[in-house]
């Protein structure tokens, strides 16, 4: 009998077919905690596209591997998996290009007022064009908070294509590494004071939650453009709303929010020159194929008794791997 791999959502058809060659594929019929706890009981593998609680993992008594369809490991209780000896695999290289292109496109859209301009034309307010004077990216200063794969790629595109000066901040890597990845290392406050464009590429953790808050927004360069395609919790929603109303932040492109989908009383929804997208920066044909195939292949490797390529908790792998 083939082992069962449970998916919280469908993934790319090619990846579904690849899994079916070696395992029985089941797609969750509901993703609330109670339903998942019941559906996971027979699963040897799990591929995740939604946040999970420790209780769901503990209900999977036959689990041998959990895969993140994506990069953000905050969707998976990694500590619980590690405690139970379950490897957690993920797809760190799958969405780099897709998210980087989204971020650069958002920078251009903000600087040239694509959102307000579109609404003006649709609202028969052509004359508003005189109040929407944009600016060129060329030669401007970009601040990158988080110099991992995506932040590094954004820095490269902006440096090469637009001759931007790139400042990088990342508390998890050395200044030499930031420099090698194409940015001038700088302290957080230095970047906030100098950056004309600011983009976030950090994981969400206790140390990074609300890294941009009421205090830090007081230090930003007046009129900065802000892009967040990482995690909504990196920003304090109320503080960003206040900073935008005060003009300290001139525009924002938000692919992620603290509450997804946003509540009706979210103060950002009523502010102009914010571009919202529904956490879909990585949802391109190419990235979905890469995420699906990379996650599937690592799940199959673990189920065959082979070492995975990308494991977040390698201490769970048996020594005979």
Q: Which residues are catalytic?
A: 231, 260, 279
The burial class, CB within 10 Å (0-12 / 13-18 / 19+), for 29 is exposed
- What is the C-alpha separation between 209 and 222, in angstroms, rounded? 23
CB 293 within 8 A of CB 287: no
| Pairing state between β 88-89 and 141-145 | unpaired
Peptide bond into 218 cis (omega under 30): no
Residue 284 has which token pair?
A: 């391109």
- What is the C-alpha separation between 320 and 250, in angstroms, rounded? 56
Under DSSP, is residue 67 helix (H, G, I), strand (E, B) or coil?
Answer: strand
CB 300 within 8 A of CB 22: yes
| Residues ≥6 apart with Cβ < 8 Å to 200 | 145, 146, 211, 212, 226, 227, 228, 229, 230, 231, 234, 235
Cα R_g (the chain), whole angstroms: 21
List, in sequence order, every beta strand (DSSP E) within 178-248: 184-185, 197-200, 224-228
CB 96 within 8 A of CB 294: no
């Amino acid at each position: 009998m083939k082992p069962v791999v449970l998916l919280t959502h469908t993934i790319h058809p090619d990846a579904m077919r690849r899994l079916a060659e070696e395992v029985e594929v089941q797609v969750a019929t509901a993703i609330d905690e109670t339903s998942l706890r019941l559906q996971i009981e027979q699963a040897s593998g799990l591929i995740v596209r939604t946040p999970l609680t420790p209780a769901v993992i503990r209900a999977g008594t036959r689990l041998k591997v959990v895969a993140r369809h994506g990069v953000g490991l905050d969707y998976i209780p990694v500590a619980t998996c590690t405690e139970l000896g379950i490897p957690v695999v993920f797809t760190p290289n799958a969405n780099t290009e897709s998210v980087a292109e989204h971020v650069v496109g958002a920078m251009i859209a903000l600087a040239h007022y694509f959102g307000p301009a579109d609404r003006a034309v649709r609202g028969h307010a052509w004359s508003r064009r005189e109040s929407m004077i944009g600016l060129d990216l060329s030669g401007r200063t970009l601040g990158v908070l988080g110099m991992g794969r995506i932040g590094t790629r954004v820095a490269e595109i902006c440096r090469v294509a637009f001759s931007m000066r790139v400042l990088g901040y990342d508390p998890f890597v050395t200044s030499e590494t930031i420099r090698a990845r194409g940015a001038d290392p700088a302290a957080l406050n230095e970047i906030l004071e100098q950056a004309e464009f600011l983009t976030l590429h950090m994981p969400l953790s206790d140390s990074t939650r609300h890294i941009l808050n009421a205090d830090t927004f007081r230090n930003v360069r007046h009129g900065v453009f802000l892009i967040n395609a990482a995690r909504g919790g990196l920003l304090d929603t109320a503080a960003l709303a206040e900073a935008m109303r005060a003009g300290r932040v001139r525009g924002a492109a938000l692919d992620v929010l603290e509450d997804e989908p946003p509540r009706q009383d979210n103060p950002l929804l009523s502010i102009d020159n914010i571009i919202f997208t529904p956490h879909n920066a990585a949802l391109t044909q190419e990235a979905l194929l890469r995420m699906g195939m990379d996650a599937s292949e690592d799940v199959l490797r673990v189920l065959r008794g082979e070492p995975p390529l990308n494991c977040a908790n390698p201490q769970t792998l048996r020594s005979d791997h």
